[in-house]
Chains A and B, each alone.
Chain A
Amino acid sequence: MTTTTEAEPQPRPATGRGDRVFQGLATAAGITILAALAAVFVFLAIEGVPGIGKPASSYRPLESFWPYVGRLLFGTVLAALVALVIAAPFALGIALFISHYAPRALAVPVAYVVDLLAAVPSVVFGLWGARVLGPHLVPVHAWLDEHAGWLPFFAGPGSVTGKTVLTAGTVLAIMILPIITAICREVFVQAPRLDEEAALALGATRWEMVRLSVFPYARSGIVSAVMLGLGRALGETMAVAMVLSASPVYTLNLISSTNPATIASNIASSFQEATPDKLAVLIATGLVLFVFTFAVNFAARAVVARSEQRLRR
């Protein structure tokens, strides 16, 4: 046995200074984002709540706030849903192609191009949607009117300018594609190798392996991705403002030129010449969008949490 000398190094305490600094930074970041969100909500509430009871002229051509915002919210949800219906299957397919099907030489460039889409400013998408995509979609509108007209979505008459919810939804779909694809791809590649091999060793085809081992693992990630995409679609302003010619109506008809604006696009297009009263009304619609987006997110989380709970029981 040797005698202990004072030169013997002390074992480091479990919580060193680095730990404390990092914990402090992480906590601060977390609190900051919560505070920012709360501040946005407080601003919207203070500035917006008075907008609910302004004189009737502020809601032209309607009379009061709720009918006014109701049509806008309806338009918002409709355009966002169209975008999701188009984008989600595409995004899942592309993500799966990149993560599990494509040879590496192809997967990397495809992933890169999809990510590039996210860097295109929304005004550019708006211009392209209104000037190029819209006119090109006119025959599609006519075709849908003719062949699928019995569905309320395609009741027609088909627009001759292409400035419709269908076009806006398509533009939105392209805009939300990258975020959904990127997140799904990230979760897909992280599916545990061991689970994938379990499926393959049982004689699963590649698609069966994806269904047995990748999708169940990725489920909550897919929901997150779709929610982020939905959030972006609900909040997108310029692209929709430039594509849609709006009128305050409730309609499921996606292909006629009479369609409701969305909350965000309405703010963008009315903001410039707004009187103080009108400004308060616009902010109030923003508050409605904020609350609505929140509610949708919570609902989606709850659904996922519940289905996972059921599995655990």
Chain B
Amino acid sequence: MARSIDVSDLDIYYGDFLAVQGVNLTVRARSVTAFIGPSGCGKSTMLRSLNRMHEVIPGARVEGKVMVDGQSLYDPSIDPVAVRRQIGMVFQRPNPFPTMSIYDNVLAGNRLNSRRMKKAEADDVVERSLRRANLWAEVKDRLGRPGMGLSGGQQQRLCIARAIAVEPQVLLMDEPCSALDPISTSAIEDLIHELKADYTIVIVTHNMQQAARVSDDTGFFNLKAAGQPGHLVEFNATRKMFSNPDNAATEAYISGRFG
């Protein structure tokens, strides 16, 4: 089920603008990998290049190699739609489908490609996904109400439920907890621990404690200077990154003595 991802010499462009340069890293299967770094250094951009969401922006493209379980992600024979079904994503800002009910939002991915589901099976998927995202208790009595009627944090958990409802092999999460309270944050972190048994997870976070708590490996991205492309400064086991990093800049950032 779970997949490993090998990135080598990856350059990511928005048109002519080189946003991220020369990334080499390996995301291990059944592990949690965290991306940290200052705002604008290209963490989201990097994450989106892992499920080919980057290219939906006009003019956006990548150069270099991304291998998922030995298969090149950007091979011309690979259908990006199929990639995204297996590599799910939670965005930095919550984006439930505004005209859909909570119930339909959770099932949106399952219903794509005109897959049919029995009612009981659908109910089951909805309940299980919402429970895992720690949202079930709050919404179980109003599943027919629109997803937009929820608070920002609830919407984000709804988006997480929607992403895991299709049981992707890899889950990419872009600051999933930035709008959440400590209780929901801890529920999401529990979920990440639980999912790790079956899935590969990549998470972007600005919260150092969170990176230290949930991840096995950490990548630190930085900008060489303003206007320069972002790059991967250090990629190491989280334990090492947070105790004895190889790079002085990593240590400065993690300990808060930065910029």
What residues make up the interface of A, taking CB atoms closer than 8 Å to B? 104, 192, 194-205, 208, 212-213, 216-217, 219, 311-313
Which residues of B in the span 23-40 have a Cβ within 8 Å of any Cβ on A? none
Residue ID in chain A nearest B89 by CB atoms: A201
Q: Smallest Cβ distance from A263 to chain B, in angstroms?
A: 38
Which residues of B in the span 125-167 have a Cβ within 8 Å of any Cβ on A? 145-146, 149, 159, 162-163, 166
Count residues of chain B with CB under 8 A from any CB of chain A: 31
Contact check: which of A104, A195, A201, A202 meets B98 at CB < 8 Å?
A: A195
Sample 13 A-B pairs with CB under 8 A, ordered by A number: A194-B95, A197-B91, A198-B96, A198-B159, A201-B51, A201-B163, A202-B163, A202-B166, A203-B84, A208-B113, A216-B99, A217-B98, A312-B146
By the criterion CB–CB under 8 Å, are A204 and B81 in contact?
yes
B93 at the interface (CB under 8 A from A): yes
* Ranked 4 nearest A-B pairs via Cβ: A203-B85, A216-B99, A202-B109, A201-B89
By the criterion CB–CB under 8 Å, are B82 and A203 in contact?
yes
By the criterion CB–CB under 8 Å, are B53 and A203 in contact?
no
B96 CB contacts on chain A under 8 angstroms: 198
B99 CB contacts on chain A under 8 angstroms: 216-217, 219, 311
With known contacts A202-B162, A204-B81, A216-B99, A197–B113 Cβ distance under 8 A? no
Contact check: which of B93, B95, B146, B166 meets A203 at CB < 8 Å?
A: B166
By the criterion CB–CB under 8 Å, are A202 and B112 in contact?
yes
By the criterion CB–CB under 8 Å, are B84 and A216 in contact?
no
B58 CB contacts on chain A under 8 angstroms: 104
**Can you list, as one digit per residue, whether each of B91-118 has a CB less than 8 Å from chain A (1) or not (0)?**
1010111111000000011001100000
Q: How far is the CA of A199 from the CA of B89 in the complex (A)?
A: 10
A203 CB contacts on chain B under 8 angstroms: 81-86, 109, 112-113, 166
Q: How far is the CA of A311 from the CA of B149 in the complex (A)?
A: 11
Contact check: which of B86, B88, B93 meets A194 at CB < 8 Å?
A: B93
By the criterion CB–CB under 8 Å, are A204 and B146 in contact?
no
By the criterion CB–CB under 8 Å, are B95 and A202 in contact?
no
B183 at the interface (CB under 8 A from A): no
Q: How far is the CA of A311 from the CA of B146 in the complex (A)?
A: 7
Residue ID in chain B nearest A194 by CB atoms: B95
By the criterion CB–CB under 8 Å, are A202 and B53 in contact?
no
Contact check: which of A195, A197, A208, A312 meets B112 at CB < 8 Å?
A: A208
B56 at the interface (CB under 8 A from A): yes
Residue ID in chain B nearest A103 by CB atoms: B58
Q: Smallest Cβ distance from A63 to chain B, in angstroms?
A: 52
Contact check: which of B82, B100, B108, B146 meets A202 at CB < 8 Å?
A: B108
Q: How far is the CA of A195 from the CA of B95 in the complex (A)?
A: 6
Contact check: which of A201, A204, A212, A311 meets B91 at CB < 8 Å?
A: A201
Q: How far is the CA of A212 from the CA of B109 in the complex (A)?
A: 10
A199 CB contacts on chain B under 8 angstroms: 97, 108
A196 CB contacts on chain B under 8 angstroms: 56
By the criterion CB–CB under 8 Å, are A216 and B97 in contact?
yes
Contact check: which of B81, B95, B162 meets A197 at CB < 8 Å?
A: B95
By the criterion CB–CB under 8 Å, are B97 and A198 in contact?
yes
With known contacts A203-B109, A203-B112, A311-B146, A198–B84 Cβ distance under 8 A? no
B56 CB contacts on chain A under 8 angstroms: 196-197, 200
With known contacts A197-B91, A198-B91, A205–B97 Cβ distance under 8 A? no
18 further A-B pairs in the complex, CB-CB below 8 A; given A194-B93, A203-B112: A197-B53, A198-B96, A198-B159, A199-B97, A201-B53, A201-B91, A202-B84, A202-B88, A202-B108, A202-B166, A203-B81, A203-B83, A203-B86, A203-B109, A216-B98, A217-B98, A219-B99, A312-B146
Contact check: which of A200, A213, A311, A313 meets B53 at CB < 8 Å?
A: A200
B98 CB contacts on chain A under 8 angstroms: 195, 216-217
Q: How far is the CA of A194 from the CA of B88 in the complex (A)?
A: 15
A313 CB contacts on chain B under 8 angstroms: 145
By the criterion CB–CB under 8 Å, are B112 and A204 in contact?
yes
B109 CB contacts on chain A under 8 angstroms: 202-203
B108 CB contacts on chain A under 8 angstroms: 199, 202, 212
A197 CB contacts on chain B under 8 angstroms: 53, 56, 91, 95
By the criterion CB–CB under 8 Å, are A201 and B97 in contact?
no
Q: Smallest Cβ distance from A240 to chain B, in angstroms?
A: 38
A200 CB contacts on chain B under 8 angstroms: 53, 56, 84
Q: How far is the CA of A200 from the CA of B95 in the complex (A)?
A: 12
Name the residue among A198, A200, A208, A219 with the largest chain B CB count within 10 angstroms: A198
A204 CB contacts on chain B under 8 angstroms: 81, 84, 112
By the criterion CB–CB under 8 Å, are A198 and B81 in contact?
no
Q: How far is the CA of A235 from the CA of B149 in the complex (A)?
A: 42
Q: Smallest Cβ distance from B24 to chain A, in angstroms?
A: 25
Q: Smallest Cβ distance from B170 to chain A, in angstroms?
A: 12
